[in-house]
Each structure stands twice: as C-alpha cells, then as structure tokens.
Amino acid sequence: LEHSVITIREAEELIRIIDLKGVVPLVRLSSNNSEQIKRIMDAGAHGVIVPMVNSVHEAEAAVSAVRYPPLGKRSVGLARAQGYGAKFKHYFDWQESNTLVVVQIEHITAVENLESILSVDGVDAYIVGPYDLSGSLGIPGEFNRPEFLEAMSRIRAVSKKLGIPGGVHIVEPDLEQLNQCIDDG
C-alpha cells in the first residue's frame, strides 16, 4: 500500500491470490495505523510490513494492532481471514503464532532506538529503507558515505545480537549487491 495507488479492496484480491498459491501474503502498510492493520489482517494477510518505526512505542503499537487480546488490541471481525465467522476459532488459534510483524528501519532515530525496537515481543523481522535512512542523515541516495555505512553496520550488529532476521531494499536488480547483502547478514 505504501507508495502505491492500491486500495484495500485490491489488496484483498492480491492477498487471496498469493494465499491460494501457498505463499505468505504480507502487506507493506501506508502507515502504522491500527485501522489499516485490522482491515488488512481481516482480509487475510499473514502479516504486515510497517513503515517508519522509530521507537519502541511504535513497534508495540504495530504488534498490538496485529494481535487479538490478550496478546494485542485488535478488534474481532468476521471477514475473509476468519471464514466470515465459520472458521473464527481456527483463525484465532492460528494468528497467535503465525502472524508476522516486520518493522521498517528508515530513519536514524530508528537506528538509535534499534535495540529496544527489535526487543519488542512480536517484532519478527526488519527491513531497511535505504533512501529514507540516507535522507534522514542528510545524504539522500548516497549509500557509500561513512555515516550511512556506519548506520548499516549498527543495524547488522544489533540484529545479530538479538537474533532478529532482516533485509534491505535493493532498488536496482543487482545480483552482486544481493549476494553482498546476504554475506553481510
């Protein structure tokens, strides 16, 4: 949804198609908005990718919006994900351990707060948004500058320490860059 014109209805169709193919449907949200998270999860997404998570509070809010009580605050709907009510118990049990929350690390503030963000119970992974991160450093798109490389190094070190998997958005298809990112962890 972020940086696109896809509607919630179109997202539901994409989720259904992806799910029917046996692939895990994740939705990149337009914001850390509990109403949008609820609608996407009710449409059948298995998880969310949450942009601009800069604090522990924002990470907790995202996790809480994905999970039903007592683990979260998501209200109960009876939509596609719950079989329109017929499969609620199955979905309720499934969502406790199968939903994913991926936080986007896109600002130097997030890097400064990374250990607390990635320590939130229910944050499963992270992905770096390199353009926004470099922009927050005042060097948009300059990925070879020392301050950007230092931020990336800190991200890798903290995530390795905590055992949280992550990734980075590679903008231009580049197999060499992909392999380097994999080697770097």
- Label residues 146-170 b or e (16+ Cβ within 10 Å = b): eebeebbeebbebbeeeebebebee
At residue 50, φ and ψ (nearest 5 deg) are -105, 120
CA–CA gap between residue 83 and residue 86 (Å, rounded): 5
Q: Which amino acid, 168?
A: V
In the chain, the DSSP E strands lie at 26-28, 47-50, 100-105, 125-128, 166-168
Of 3, 46, 90, 107, the catalytic one is 3
Which residues, 6+ apart, have CB-to-CB distance to 66 below 8 Å? 37, 41, 47, 48, 72, 74, 95, 99, 101, 122
pLDDT value at residue 121? 96
Check residue 118 and give its pLDDT.
98
Q: Is 3 a catalytic residue?
A: yes
Strand spans (E) along 51-115: 100-105
CA dist 59 and 50 (Å) reads 9
Structure tokens, 63: 């996790």
Question: Which pTM value belongs to this model?
Answer: 0.94
Which band of pLDDT confidence, cut at 50, 70 and 90, is reported for residue 77?
confident
Predicted confidence band of residue 68 (pLDDT cuts 50, 70, 90): very high
Give the 3-state secondary structure percentages of the chain, helix then strand then coil, rounded to 5: 50, 10, 40
Question: Is residue 25 within 8 Å of 14, Cβ to Cβ?
Answer: yes
Q: How far is CA 142 from CA 54, 85, 135, in A?
A: 21, 50, 9
pLDDT of residue 110: 98
pLDDT exceeds cutoff 90 at 144: yes
- pLDDT value for 184: 84
Distance CA 72, CA 61 (A): 9
**Residue 95: CB partners within 8 Å, gap ≥ 6?**
41, 66, 67, 68
pLDDT (0 to 100) of residue 113: 98
